[in-house]
Structure formats: structure tokens, C-alpha cells
Amino acid sequence: MNKKLGCALILTCLILIGVGCAQKPVSQSGSNEPNPAKTEVDLGTMNTQVVDVYMADSQVLELEKTEQEIDYKDDSEKYEKTFAALQTNTDSELVSLWEQVELLSIQYAEGTVTLDVHIPAEANLGTSGELLALEALTTTMFQFDEVKSLDILVDGEAVDSLMGHAELEHPIHREP
């Protein structure tokens, strides 16, 4: 008899614990409905866009346009994801000229995208490669109507040349 009573008591405790754990948490308003404003702020509004990305052909003689889909929350993230797409080669016939370049930061303000990059020695290209890399970056970024200029910094400094071969303007303005 005591065994049955003990088992019943243990079973009752387990049921109460299970029921207590299964309840939804109560919000500050006192209801147990989720707070939609908080959920929206936490998740943010994600946008999806197909962007044009320019890569070099296998001989690094000319650029070819490819398309990649990006997901982003705001403009700064849109440009960061676009640069990441520029670094990601999805076609074995093409070459990403920015693949080995490290993006330190990217900012957007008043029509200007400012990129701060680190260029390791193995990412240096010859004169024609550097010119194509600059053209790939500017053509990719200037597809966005709101981007009027592009400023490229190397390790936080406005340098005269990206890789030592071609003159680098600060900022590079969109051609009319």
C-alpha cells in the first residue's frame, strides 16, 4: 500500500513539473502572447536582392557580369554582402580579383561608400589586374543608384595606389 502511495506521489510531482514547464512565458503586459514589436526588432526586416557582380575571365583580360543573391537588413549590410559576393567565385570559368583582400570595414553615408581593406602580398595583381579589380569594384558598387562615390582606404589610409600600379582617386565618383 505504501509503495502504491509513493508511486502515485512521485507520478503526481512529475505531472505537475511537466505542466509547469509546458506553459508559455508570460510577457510584461501580463498575457502569454508573444510581443510582436520585440520579435520584429530582434529579427529585423530582411531584404533579398539579386546583385550584379563583376569577375575577370580566366585570362584576367576582361570582366564578365554574374548575378548573386544577397540577404541584408540595412544599406551598410547590403554593401558588405555585395563586397562579399565580389569575393565569392561561383563560376569556375571566372576569377575573383578581390578574393584574397580582407574587408576591415565598410560604411555608407550621404551617397559615399567607404571601404577599408587590407591587401596581403599574395593579393597584389599586375597593372592590368589592378585596373580590372578597380573596375570590378566600382561597377559592382555603382549599380546602386544611391551610391554616388566610392572611397577605398588601405589599412585605414587614403593611399595613392591600391596595389602600386594605378592611381587611386579619393573618392572615386560615379561617371554621369
Return per-residue pLDDT of the chain as tens, 176 residues: 555 555 555 655 445 455 555 444 444 445 455 444 443 444 568 899 999 999 999 888 999 999 999 999 987 899 999 999 999 988 888 999 899 999 999 999 999 999 999 988 887 787 788 899 999 999 999 999 999 999 999 999 989 887 777 788 989 998 87
Q: How high is the pLDDT of residue 156? A: 92
pTM above 0.85, yes or no: no
Task: Please check whether residue 162 is in contact with residue 126, taking contact to mean a CB–CB distance below 8 angstroms.
Answer: no
Side-chain-side CA neighbours of residue 156 (13 Å): 0
Helix axis angle, 75-87 to 127-141, nearest 10°:
150
Cell numbers found for residue 72: 541584408
Question: Is the bond preceding residue 171 a cis peptide, omega within 30 degrees?
Answer: yes
* DSSP state at residue 29: T
Beta bridge partners of 56: 63, 95
Q: How high is the pLDDT of residue 143? A: 95
Pairing relation of β-strands 102-109 and 112-118? Answer: antiparallel
